[in-house]
Structure 1
Amino acid sequence: ASTLHEQAAIPLLAAHEMANASPAAVVARLRAAPYAAQFRDTFGADALDDDARGFQWATLALEMFQQDPQQFYPYSSRFDDFLRGKAPLAANEMRGLALFNDEKKGNCASCHVSEVSANSGAFPAFSDFGFIALGVPRNRALPANRDPAFHDLGLCGPDRTDLSGPENAGLCGAFRTPTLRNVAVRQAFFHNGVMHSLQEVVRFYVTRDLQPQRWYPYPSRKGGAHRRYDDLPAQYAGNVNT
């Protein structure tokens, strides 16, 4: 999406997110919502009379919400207090932070930036907002993955089509680095939700290249080559960050 306004509409209509059939279906839900009167008070008495206009107001509300720092990113955690010099971290937490930041150890901060920006003074979102291919295992619980020919290739499709040409093959399998804010309360991890605990995620990072058999299927025939990155077509295996 080229604007926050465009982005706000995507999850409302995406088949694997909120799965509303159309903008009109979203507006129909708004008309029936307990806050419909408040919506009309905000955007006008006729705000929900027209489907196109109602959808535009709805996405405008989401667009503005995502830019409200007090509502959307207050940065009010204990770690933020630590960065402000208002609260200490325990000794084990300091060891964990050192491991997180150490380029020769966890090296997590290379993608999940953990420090206040030297340029802007902005507090860390724990993401560099870049894209990376990790070769996470295929999630066989997803209905789409019942088709062995289906692959979610991130930047080069199928949802995104502007980078799907052969000249962009090096981007296939790459996904946006997520923020780690509130990561401890999540119940699914990575782009396909294949893992369900932070322990499992860390174990994957540590052992993926050393013990691939822990994460990927064994070959179907005895003596066959072990197939790494079972959720990527073989021609894109070289895109995985190692």
Structure 2
Amino acid sequence: MKKIDGVKHELNPMSLVALVLSFVSLALVTSLFFIPREDRVYSLFITIDTLICLVFWLQLTGDLLRSQNKKAFLKTHWPDYLASIPIIEPLRFMRLVQIFRVLRLIRSGQQLLQHILDYRREATIATIVLLLTVLVTVGSSLILIIESHDPNANIHSADDAIWWVFVTISTVGYGDHYPVTTLGKILATVIITCGVGLFGMVAGLISSFVSDPDRHKPAIHHHDQKHWDKILDNQNLLLKRIDDLEQRLTESTQHSGKENEK
């Protein structure tokens, strides 16, 4: 398990996913102020927000376990824990603290791409989590809104919509819930296609763990590579100076021999 600390924590792939999901969560919570409580979409947004909070807690707990200084981590990120408490939607606005913190680091010119390259597999996992969350959020919301106006629809509640999205993403197709409108069928086609690609990413990630012969070897970070390159350059310079000194000594010996012959 890789230890993380400081800027590396803030710019690791899962933290960047949490940044994106923070925007999604804030958009959902803000929209709740304009949706009646008895509306089915209100219940759907509450359910999705709870699922996103679960992702937040998993990400924060994982970062806490990998942190070198857990006390300092909790001191810095306690607002993130409070903002991830489900059901209490107003607390979600405390995630603005994390959003501004990460955006400041990105804006300050930190090596964002290098951090992602250092954690490629974690970046893949983060991408899968992000795509899955976006598919569930957008897919369930749209299918419920689209199908709610058709009298023949069989997707009537938040539970039906979320269940349908998960079944469609996995391409299982139980058939207990299905779209009856043209727009709903088009949306189902898009979600099925994305689901196939998502599971292709999962299969590729698993195969990389199985087939990579260097998976047990510690990775050489960019700064370590620079350090070794500097050592090699100094070694080459030292060898060159030794060769020059040896050549001078040889020339001096030959010159002395000629002087003795005279």
Q: Which TM-score band applies after superposition, normalised by the shorter structure?
A: under 0.3
TM-score of the aligned structures, taking structure 2 as reference length? 0.22
Which has more radius of gyration? 2
Structure number with greater CO (CA < 8 Å, separation at least 6) is 2
TM, length-normalised to structure 1: 0.24
